[in-house]
Chain A
Amino acid sequence: MNLYEFQAKELISRFGIEIPRGRVAASAEDAERLARRLAFRRFAIKAQIHGGGRGAAGGIRFADTPEEARRLTADLMSRPLVTSQTRASGEKVRWVYVEEAFTIEREIYAAVVVDRARGQLALLVAAEGGEDIEEREALQPGLIKRFPLDATTSPPSGDFAGAAHAAGLAGAQAERVADLLAAMARVSSELDAMLVEVNPLALTNDGRAVALDAKLTIDDNALFRHPALSALRSQIQIEEGDPKELAADRHQLNYQKMDGDIGVVVNGAGLALATLDMLIDAGGRPANFMDIRTTATSLDIAYGIEVIVENPLTRVVLINVHGGGMQRCDDVAEGVAIALRRARRSVPLVVRFAGNNADFARVRLQGAGVAFEDAADMSDAVAKAVGIAARRTTG
C-alpha cells in the first residue's frame, strides 16, 4: 500500500520526525480556508499523487495569499497530473497539501528500504536530495550510499552516525540527522513499511532537520498487525480504485484494464505475463490483464469472463489455462459456460487448455453449447486470437 505525502508525514511525525506545518485540502475552497487559518508568510501548494517527479511537472506551487492558494488548488485539481513517473494519462489530483514554505540551507536524500536481494533492511543516503535523484545516481553511480540495518533488533540497529557523515554532514547537524535516520528505521520496523523515503530532507539555517517530502509503502501482508492502516487502505481503495478491478480482486482475480481489443484470461501470473508477451509480439493488443488465482471458484471465474466479454472494445477473448493441482481446466470451463449464458454480448472465443483435465474441459464447453476455436498450444492460440481481432477490425 502506497501512502500519500500527507498520510506519510502524519505517521512519521509520530516518531519524532519534524515535518513542516500544513494541512490537507480536498477542494479549492478548503485550501483557501486552511490557508487563512494557518496564516503562513508563504504557502507551498502540493498536489497529492503517488508518482514521483511532481515538482518538475508543476505539481508544487507557491502562494503568498489564501486567495492565491485557492486559485492554484483549483488549477491543480482541474486535470490529471502527468509526470515522468505516472502513466501517460496522469494521476487525478484529489487532494492538495497546504504547507508552510520555508528557506532551506541544503537538501539531502534518505530512505530506509527492504533490500530484497539480501533479505535485510537497508539505509540509503545521498549528500544531495531532489526528485531526480535516481537519474543522477544512474549518471553518477555511488552518489547514493548504502548502510545495512539489523531489523531483528528492536529498534533496528545500524551505523546512523556513519550514514550522516556519508551524507556530508558534521557536528551537531550530523547528530540531528543520525537521530532522524534512526527514527526512520523505527517507522519502517514498527509500521511494516517496505519503504520510508524522505526526499528531500531539508537542513535549515536555524539548525533543524525537516522532512519536506515523505513516501511510505506499507507491506499489505502485514496489515493484520495494523488495524488503523488497514482502514486507511480501504479508504484509499474506495477513493481511487477502479470498481471493476476491486470487484475482481474480491473474486480472486487480478484484473487490470488495458486499451486493446483482445480479452485475455489466464490462470497464474507468470503464464499471464508470458501470454501478453507473445500476444503483443504477434501484433495483438490486449484489452486487459487477467490472472485467475488458484483460490478462485468457477463462479469467480464466470464473473471475470463476464466483465471481459461485456467490455465493448473486446473483439475476441483468448483463454489460456494450464490446469494445475489446485485448479483444473474444467473449473475454468464451467466458469466460461456460466459467463456466456449470462453475458449480454457475444464475442468469439479462442481456448487453449493444457494440463489437468484439459480434455474433459473441452467436452464440458461443447456440452454447454459454447462455440470456441480450440487451440493446440500457446502459439496457435495467440495466432488465432490476433487473426480474429484483425478480421473483425477490417470487416
Chain B
Amino acid sequence: MAILIDRDTRLLCQGLTGRTATYHLARMAAYGTDLVAGVVPGKGGRLHLDVPVFETVVAAKAETQANASIVFVPPRNAGAAMIEAIEAEIPVVVCVTERVPVFDMIRVKHALAGSKTRLVGPNSQGLLSPGACQVGVMTTVASRPGSVGIASRSASLTSEVMAITTKLGLGQSTTVGVGGDPVHGVSLKDAVALFLDDAATRSIVVVGEIGGAEEEELAAFVAAVRPAKPIVALVVGRHAPRDRRMGHAGAFASLATGTAIEKNRALERAGVTVARDAASVGPALMAALGRLKD
C-alpha cells in the first residue's frame, strides 16, 4: 500500500518525446513503473520508449486505461496540458515543469475545483512509492519500501530524509514532492491527510520552508484532527539570507507568509514533533515512534 501511486498505476506522459522526458521516463520504466502511453500533439501514431503516442489525453486514456499522467511540457503550454488531463478525468497528475506562469496556475486551480483529479506540482520532483512505482525525477538510490510517508516542499531534502529513514530501517511508503511554486496542487496538508488514511504509513515526515502558508495550514489541520500517527516536521530557512526572505514590500505580508520560526511554533502547538535541523530528523522520528510504543 501507498498513496497516489502503486503497482496498479498505469502511467501516461504528456510531452513524452522530449529529450528530458525520454531520459526520465526510461528511468521510471526501468524502476518498474508501468508506462502505457505518451501524449504529444502532432506526433500521434508513433511508438516511443515502446509505448504508443497519442494526440490527446482522452484518446490515450480510452486506448490504454491510463490512470496517472506525468507532465513534461514546456512552461508556456504546461498549464493547458494540466487542464487537458484534468478534463480527461485522470485521477493523478504530476507536473515536473518549472517556471509555469502563476496566472496559468490560477486557471489550473479553477479547473481542479470539483474535479476528479489530484494534481502534484508543478515544479515538483514527483511521487515515489518505493519498490512499486516511480512517477518523478528523484534519485531512488536510498529508497526502500517501508512505513514513513514523506511530504516535502524541497527536492534535495526529500533525498536527505529518504536516506535518513532508510538508514533507520524504516523505509518509505510514498514520497510526495508538493512542488516549489506559489500556486500548486496537492499541499502538505493534503498529502498528510492521505497518509493518515493509508494503512502502510505508520509515521510521517513533513519538510517545509520559509514563505507561503502551507505549514500553518497543516498545523491547523493537525490541531483539529489530532492524528494518532506521529508526525515530524522540519522547516528550513531560519537563517535564510534577507533577500530570500523578503520580496517586494507590501501586501504579501497580509496574506500570511510566515517565517520558519513562526511555522515551527504553529506546528509545535498543534502537536507535531519539530526537528530543529536536518540532522535531527532521525532522532526526532525515533523519539516520536518511541513515545507511541509507551
Contacts and interface: CB of A to CB of B under 8 A. Distances in A.
A219 B277 CA distance: 32
Contacts of A103: none
B115 interface: no
B246 to A, nearest CB: 7
B241 A289 contact: yes
B279 A278 contact: yes
Nearest to B99: A221
B159 A322 contact: yes
Contacts of A268: 154-157, 159
A281 B163 CA distance: 23
B244 interface: yes
B106 A273 contact: no
A256 B154 contact: no
A86 B277 CA distance: 28
A219 B102 contact: yes
Contacts of B246: 85
B109 A119 contact: yes
Interface string B229-253: 0000010111111111011111111
A235 interface: no
B278 A195 contact: no
Contacts of A199: 250
Interface string A132-162: 0010010000001000001110000000000
A222 B102 contact: yes
Nearest to B24: A325
Contacts of B163: 322, 354-355
Interface in B202-261: 207, 209-210, 212-214, 217, 234, 236-244, 246-256, 260
Interface in A264-294: 266-281, 289
A297 interface: no
Interface in B105-127: 105-107, 109-110
B154 A271 contact: yes
B67 interface: no
Given A256-B243, A274-B278, A192 B101 contact: yes
Most chain B CB atoms below 10 A, which of A124, A276, A379: A276
A2 interface: yes
A113 interface: yes
A230 to B, nearest CB: 13
Most chain A CB atoms below 10 A, which of B24, B101, B163, B214: B101
Given A271-B160, A281-B277, A215 B182 contact: no
Contacts of B105: 119
Most chain B CB atoms below 10 A, which of A220, A258, A280, A322: A322
Interface stretch (B34-42, B55-63, B137-145): B137-145
B183 interface: yes
A296 B212 CA distance: 27
A87 B154 contact: no
B153 interface: yes
Interface residues of B, number: 67
Interface string B22-50: 00100100000000000000000000000
B277 A277 contact: yes
Interface residues of A, number: 68
A35 to B, nearest CB: 28
B248 A50 contact: yes
A116 B213 contact: yes
Nearest to A257: B241
A189 interface: yes
A263 to B, nearest CB: 14
A326 B159 CA distance: 12
B3 interface: no
Interface in B164-191: 180, 182-184
A144 B153 contact: no
Nearest to B74: A224
B125 to A, nearest CB: 8
Contacts of A195: 248, 250-252
B250 A52 contact: yes
B121 to A, nearest CB: 13
Contacts of B213: 116-117
Contacts of B155: 268, 270, 324
Given A116-B212, A324-B139, A378-B279, A151 B106 contact: yes
A379 B247 contact: no
B274 interface: no
A270 B236 contact: yes
Given A119-B106, A189-B103, A274 B157 contact: yes
Contacts of A121: 106
B52 interface: no
A51 interface: yes
A114 B182 contact: yes
Given A151-B103, A270-B236, A115 B255 contact: yes
7 contacts: A114-B102, A119-B106, A270-B236, A277-B236, A323-B139, A323-B141, A378-B278
Interface of B: 24, 27, 75-76, 99-107, 109-110, 137-142, 152-157, 159-160, 163, 180, 182-184, 207, 209-210, 212-214, 217, 234, 236-244, 246-256, 260, 276-279
Given A116-B212, A221-B99, A274-B234, 7 more contacts: A85-B249, A269-B209, A270-B157, A277-B239, A277-B277, A324-B139, A356-B139
Q: Which 8 A-B pairs have the closest CB atoms?
A: A268-B156, A270-B154, A52-B249, A119-B109, A271-B156, A222-B101, A116-B182, A111-B251
